[in-house]
Amino acid sequence: MRVLVVEDETRLASALQRGLRAEGFAVDVARDGVAGLRMARESGYAAVVLDVMLPGLSGYRVCEALRAEGNWVPVLMLSAKDGEYDQADGLDVGADDYLIKPFSWVVLVARLRALLRRGTPARPATLTAGDLVLDPASHQVTRSGDPVALTAREYAVLECLLRRAGEVVSKTDLLRHVWDGHADGDPNVVEVYVGYLRRKIDAPYGRRAVQTVRGAGYRLDPDGG
């Protein structure tokens, strides 16, 4: 299987190329983000090993561009940036895994093989239902291109519904995912927040995306209402 390594540190790029070839991979190397994005677009790689800090275009932007184009090649991000928000940023823009430098060679190869076993199912970086868009990376929501200001709890309810668009989501499921199973002991708090959400994402636009399924829960119309 052919793998693309996008790494600007010459010694590390050469070591990755030699090591992965020894593991049975065919390996191409790009030394900057612009070349890496071009090569990833033009060739059908089984996976991409992608550094974050790259000249020309960062690894975050490379991955974000690929996902925006519907390219779901598995991406293993490498970085010396070890903060939890750095890792979250990488995963939120569409990377499948994030490995901190310096890393164990054994772990890198194991994680790469794990990504290859999963294949390349579509994993969109944004959640959409018609013109309703939620971007986990920026924590922003838009409707018809307009930004929609949501509280943290409203955002979490919408994200849960969008991730299961077209399915019925029970109050119990929403409580478990949004309120960690508590909500002050009152499951009716879900109704309150669904009402808040409707007033922000539906009513101003003449839509009915969030539907009540009597006795079962709520369903978000995958077409946006």
Comparing C-alpha atoms, which of 128, 222, 225, 218 is closest to residue 169? Answer: 218
For the domain made up of 2-118, give the CATH fold: Rossmann fold (3.40.50)
pLDDT of residue 120: 63
Instruction: Give 40's Cβ-side CA count (13 Å radius).
Output: 30
Domain residue ranges of the chain, discontinuous segments joined by +: 2-118, 127-220
Average pLDDT of the chain is 88
> pLDDT by residue (tens digit) across 86-134?
788 888 888 889 999 989 999 999 999 998 887 666 566 678 899 999 9
Same fold, 2-118 and 127-220: no
Decide if 173 contacts 194 (C-beta within 8 A). no
For the domain made up of 127-220, give the CATH fold: Arc Repressor Mutant, subunit A (1.10.10)
Question: What is the 8-class DSSP label of residue 130?
Answer: T
Q: Distance between CA 150 and CA 117 in Å, rounded?
A: 38
pLDDT of residue 164: 87
Residues across the chain: 225
The amino acid that residue 152 corresponds to is A
> pLDDT by residue (tens digit) across 33-66?
999 999 999 888 889 999 999 999 999 999 989 9
Residue 69 pLDDT grade (very low, low, confident, very high; cuts 50, 70, 90): confident
What is the enclosing helix (H) or strand (E) of 117?
A: helix 105-118
Q: Distance between CA 50 and CA 71 in Å, rounded?
A: 15
Average of per-residue pLDDT across 158-185: 79
Helices (H), the chain: 10-22, 33-42, 59-68, 84-92, 105-118, 152-163, 171-178, 189-201
Percent with pLDDT over 90 in the chain: 57
